[in-house]
Structure 1
């Protein structure tokens, strides 16, 4: 009996031609830092819905917003600045990691110049929240991090979850990528950590300007709105024993 092999597929819904965009990943993970930050980027940069990714391994659901149904995993893009974002409204189960990673590499990697991934790590103190460090898949991306004055993460460690799978796939395929590790609240969705990674890392690295005022003014509202997604992420992670959490000498 042969094992069933399934793959994810990308469907373009709007023709957008951007000159070597940077892909910024915003999938649900620890503290929902990536999701909150990329929601802000997508909105403020007026990115358009470029396409959707589908796979049998994704949860059999649709989400809706403003009275309209939308696909679960979506890609947005714009040309000025040249940015592409990857979003999901729910945490994805472990069987979806590999198909999604293969789809990003096989169907999207030729379109973007480099990728930036975001991983939340539980801070050990309130003072650490929002601290950002970076790792790279190539020496050129490491140089980009240094040029953007983003501290290089100087400890060994492991990143799991869908973000770890995507970074691993980029590394194996020699796709230039950066992983930004953000210290965030151990238990709650963290708009302040998202604000910090935008201001101290994404803005200088990708070269755009984002107004993060809303992350201060609407912090409580954002926390409440994202709490359901955070609980769903936690449930999926516990069931699979597979957290995105960055594990280093400090975070065991």
Structure 2
């Protein structure tokens, strides 16, 4: 049965922001989410049991306890949640996954920040970032000074399904889209997400020095997941422009 199984009932949160870290283009969301969980030593708050998640289990280093590959971590002091995923969610079951997760977000008064990479060639300039929103999400983008898209586009995969669910049900959600490497893990794009998107929206200072310093290590660690995602026939999460006349 689809559900979110809360493990840390004693953690008190007050309408928190949730950072979604599903794997996608450049693994930008996953890298950002993993970094934030580690930087704040966040508490393993809940396990996610939803359609679209492969029937596998994960175990951490130096710990024999098992958990689902998609988990939620919490930081009560910063009123912050992070959805961390060690596996790609099947695009074929994206709608069912979105219904499961977003339903819990609504019950817990969570404001989700959905993260997506937009394939782009690497340049010397920092990767561009823009925001999209549903419900009252636009107020968060305005307050943070995040630009709107410069061209028409769409978000696909599980993150697109989550945004679609928010739009259909008139719920507040924020989407952050960053230019990222179309083939390889992109820690620099993840840093841009954190510095120019997540930090100003959540009003939480997130150290990112180690994220850049460990770029090579992160790339090696994530390449295996990136290769698994390339094997998925259907599209995974990404944002891309819609050029109507080409």
| TM-score using structure 1 length | 0.89
Specify every segment of 5 or more residues in structure 1 that has no aligned partner in the other structure, as ranges: 1-6
1:84 match: 81
Rounded to whole Å, the distance in 2 between the matches of 1:176 and 1:154 is 22
Kept in 2, the 8 Å contact 1:123–1:183? The answer is yes
Q: 1:193 corresponds to which residue?
A: 189
Aligned equivalents of 2:138, 2:106: Cα separation in 1? 19
2:217 is aligned with 1:216:
no
Q: Match for residue 97 of structure 1?
A: 94
Distance 2:182 2:125 in 1: 11
3-state secondary structure, aligned to 1:70: coil
Q: Count the aligned residue pairs.
A: 242
Choose which of 196, 220, 226 in structure 2 pairs with 1:230: 226
Equivalent-residue separation in structure 2 for 1:161 and 1:130 (angstroms):
22
What TM-score, normalized to structure 2? 0.91
Alpha-carbon deviation of 1:249? 4.3
Aligned mate of 1:160, from 156, 161, 164:
156
* Structure 2 Cα separation of the partners of residues 165 and 95 of structure 1: 11
Residues in 2 aligned to 1:111 and 1:57: alpha-carbon distance in whole angstroms: 22
SS state at 1:64 partner: coil
Quote how far apart the aligned CAs of 1:128 are. 5.5
Among 10, 20, 28, the residue aligned to 1:25: 20
The equivalent residue for 2:112 is: 115
Deviation at 1:104, TM superposition (A): 1.6
Q: CA RMSD in A?
A: 1.9
